[in-house]
Amino acid sequence: MSQSTGTTKSMPRQGLRMGPGGPGGLTGESARNTRSTVVRLFSYLRSFRIQLTLVAILVVISTLFRLAGPILLGQAIDNYVATNDSGGVMRTALWMIAVYVGAGIAGVVQGFMMVTIGQQFVADIREQIFSHIQTLSMAYHDRNRVGDLMSRISNDSETINRTLSNGLIEFTSNILLLGGILIAMFFLNWQLATAALIIIPIMVYITVLVTQYSRKSFRKVQRNLGELNTVMEENIAGVRVVKAFAREDDVIDKFEVVNAEQRRVGITADIITAALGPMFTTMMTVTIAVTALLGGWLALPPRNIVEVGIIATFVVYIMNFFRPMRGIAMLYNQLQSSLAGAERIFTVLDAEPTVRDAEGAELLGHIQGKVHFDNVSFAYEPEKPVLRNVNLTAEPGQTIALVGPTGAGKTTIISLLSRFYDVTEGAISVDDWDIRKVQQASLREQLGIVLQDTFLFSGTVLENIRYGRLNASDEEVIAAAAMANADRFIRLLPNGYQTEVSEQGNNFSEGQRQLISIARSILADPRILILDEATSSVDTRTEMQIQEALLRLMDGRTSFVIAHRLSTIRKADLVLVVNDHQIIERGTHEELLEQRGFYHDLYMSQYRRAEVSA
């Protein structure tokens, strides 16, 4: 089947190999390397450095304005209110309005810029994850669940976006504001500043204690969310099977278990976050009271160490001090969630394809279609062989039927030819080209695959057929459909070739989906065909149409057929009997029957019975 390639905008690659990697699957555990994750995230922000510099300048301006407001308030009390200078009070009030409006404008602009940066960042990283997933080998997809991968692309990246769009700028602003308040407080009166800051060690201890538990909780939230998505994706996509076996109650029970666990860990994480607010509010109130009492004592004669305006300034500063402290603690929890999501994303990005193009791999051009397996052995896991010492040669245009019991290794032979996996021992060649030495895309462009479980994409019928060759004209698509016996039923659809395909093609029968898939392969015009031609679930008339279409498709092409039907086996040039992970018999249908071996027994017990019942 033809395969399209495109140019994809990619993220900066600086940090791509920094985290722990390898071909392993998704374990659900975070990398637990906070420093590496943070450095890696910031490496992706290098392309936004100009915008981030402008944001930093606005943050500094906004912070200075927020620091100036309480000082102006204190000056107004001491210099103008005490002397009944209404003009001075008015001028100071106008200055206060100006600085707070300026701080607000700077905040709006920086917020707008960070939202833009965050959305672009998350769009880029989603694109990178999705593109990287396309490069991963089938072994990776076999080990990992679709719902969990989807969760990493959507939920985890959105968590990072929320932190970037709102949390990062607020976190930086709060840090600057805290530093500025500390400097201003000690500059105004060191005694009051010292008294106000006695509470800080308690705040830091509480923050550290809470965040020790929060990160674990947020890791569990992210991990369980992936599990929840998996359950939903599998059971909604497989709703026909669920209903066919009347398993609705079982599915609901399973969902309730996973959902209850997500609720439990979510409650734990949210309680930790919610507890910080009341704790900081209580500490703020106590600190204001202590500072006000000490300030009043210092202001009374005979001490007269501090003025009333400075006490008012301190009260405002303390309120402004605890707000960013509370914000930092809350944002730290949000940061933990983002880091957990980033670690899960980087686990995907660090996964390496187990099947990759060799250095200097050549382009496989036009081929005749000769296929040779030279003493091929394969194992998905060490010490668990799936194929042993497979030797076969398919000449151009021959039809090779693969028969044998379930699990014998028929599908694995097909998967190795498609190079979804690499052989453990031996070699596979196409026209004397070792398939490990040619580019995977060029090999698969020579292959046409028609599976028993046909997959249709969202879009129109025309677009699904054109998936075989993206540059095909409408006339070529229609001609391919006609050769596949699909044109007639397509034209009877409400919108003909422009009819929209529902999810996984559920608005078509299995036979219609099969005919569309055959049309797709006809359009691709491959030299080698791989067919899983089961038609047991379609009616006799549709089965005849499918068989006619398959014969047209196979004409002149080398074909490997996982044979389920006697007619296919009889017409095959070579029948390979696969059992116990190896080819145990080979020959034509008549030759194998004469041997009265395994094939003969299989034929008499399975194929012959199927022929009689038909």
| Torsional sign, CA 270, 272, 275, 280 | negative
User: Distance between CA 343 and CA 33 in Å, rounded?
Assistant: 8
CA dihedral 213, 215, 220, 221 (to 10 degrees): 110
pLDDT (tens digit per residue) in 522-551: 898 889 988 876 555 566 677 788 888 888
Q: Does residue 381 contact residue 399 with C-beta atoms inside 8 Å?
A: no
**Rg for the chain, CA atoms, rounded:** 35
Backbone angles phi, psi at 560, to 5 degrees: -110, 120
Q: Are 331 and 170 in contact (CB under 8 A)?
A: yes
User: From CA 484, how far away is CA 472, in angstroms rounded?
Assistant: 16
Q: Which two tokens stand for residue 290?
A: 């202590």
Q: What is the pLDDT of residue 466?
A: 92
Measure the CA–CA gap between 332 and 219, rounded to whole angstroms.
14
What is the per-residue pLDDT for 333? Answer: 65
Cis before residue 302, ω within 30 degrees of 0? yes
Q: What is the Cα–Cα distance from 345 to 318, expressed in whole angstroms?
A: 40
Task: Calculate the average pLDDT of the chain.
Answer: 80
Q: What is the pLDDT of residues 540-585, one digit of tens each?
A: 677 788 888 888 888 888 999 987 777 778 888 999 999 988 999 9
Q: Which two tokens stand for residue 218?
A: 């947020």
336-389 pLDDT, tens digit per residue, is: 778 878 888 888 888 888 888 888 888 988 889 999 999 999 998 877 888 999
SS3 182: helix
* Residues paired with residue 428 on neighbouring β-strands, in sequence order: 373
* Model confidence at 279: pLDDT above 80: no
Q: Which amino acid is at 139?
A: A
Instruction: Please report the pLDDT score of residue 538 as a whole number.
Output: 64
Q: Please count the other Cβ atoms lying within 10 Å of the Cβ belonging to residue 384.
A: 8
- Give percent above pLDDT 90 in the chain: 16
450 token code pair = 């028609």
pLDDT in tens, 165-185: 767 777 777 788 888 888 888
**Full 3-state SS string of 399-425:** EEEEECCCCCCHHHHHHHHCCCCCCCE
CB 314 within 8 A of CB 181: no
Question: Other C-beta atoms within 10 Å of 76: how many?
Answer: 22
Model confidence at 25, pLDDT cuts 50, 70, 90, reads very low
H-only helix segments in 144-247: 146-151, 157-162, 168-188, 190-197, 200-237, 239-244
For residue 614, pLDDT over 80 is answered with no
Task: Label residue 487 by pLDDT band (50, 70, 90).
Answer: very high
pTM of the entire predicted model: 0.65
Residue 524 is which amino acid? A
The three-class DSSP label of residue 334 is: helix
Dihedral of alpha carbons 232, 234, 240, 244, sign = negative
Q: How far apart are the first and last CA of the chain?
A: 33
More confident residue, 417 or 538: 417
Q: What is the pLDDT of residue 11?
A: 37
Pairwise CA distance, residues 425 & 422, whole Å: 9
Q: How far apart are CA 98 and CA 458, in angstroms?
A: 55
Q: For the sheet containing 425-430, what is the strand order?
A: 384-394, 371-381, 425-430, 433-434
pLDDT score of 274 more than 80:
no
Among candidate residues 373, 370, 371, 355, the one with its CA nearest the CA of residue 582: 373
